[in-house]
Amino acid sequence: MEQAIFYILAATAVIATILAITEKHPVHAILYLVTSLFSMAVIFYLLMAPLVAAFEVILYAGAIMVLFLFVIMMLDLGHPEKGLSPGWREWLPALLLSGASIASLAVIVVSRSAAVAAHPAGLSIREVALRLFREHGLAVELISLQLLFALVGALYLGRSKS
């Protein structure tokens, strides 16, 4: 049952991502990407990571994508007819390069046996949080500093000339 849900969600994520990057209208592309992120969040939940799944929905789909939408609407970029979308001349090398990479990945992975591993004990949120704050406290502090720097940088770049 869970395997079937995983493969359905994987197909949804891949198709939504392909639609997102081939869509000419930026707002539609963002909405397709939100669909892909939702299915990725359920995949994270299936992989015993409910915390990451919740953050994926709240941060990625809720904050970052809405930030993209705000910028697109603020700069009035929702006009695909202005000619910034790629033609076949741009798609051809991209398809060739990513196709070669995907083919090599498939060759490497298919040559190995794919067996379901033994089921390790589930990871509780308590365990994850203890590991985060006991062993990675410095990383938490560094990331908070980095978010502060990003805030100051965004304020500096966005100030009006007066």
Closest listed residue to residue 35, CA positions, set 49, 23, 51, 24 = 23
The rounded Cα 132 to chain-centroid distance in angstroms is: 22
Q: How far is the CB of 129 from other proteins (least distance, A)?
A: 9
**In this complex, which beta carbon is closest to other proteins, that of residue 121 or of residue 162?**
121
What's the CA gap between 156 and 137, in Å, rounded?
Answer: 29
What would the two tokens of residue 69 be? 């939408």
Q: How far is the CB of 86 from other proteins (least distance, A)?
A: 5
Contact between residue 24 and residue 85 where contact means Cβ atoms under 8 Å apart: yes
Q: How far is the CB of 68 from other proteins (least distance, A)?
A: 7
Residue 97 carries which side chain, given as an amino acid letter?
A: L
Contact between residue 27 and residue 34 where contact means Cβ atoms under 8 Å apart: no
Q: How far is the CB of 139 from other proteins (least distance, A)?
A: 6
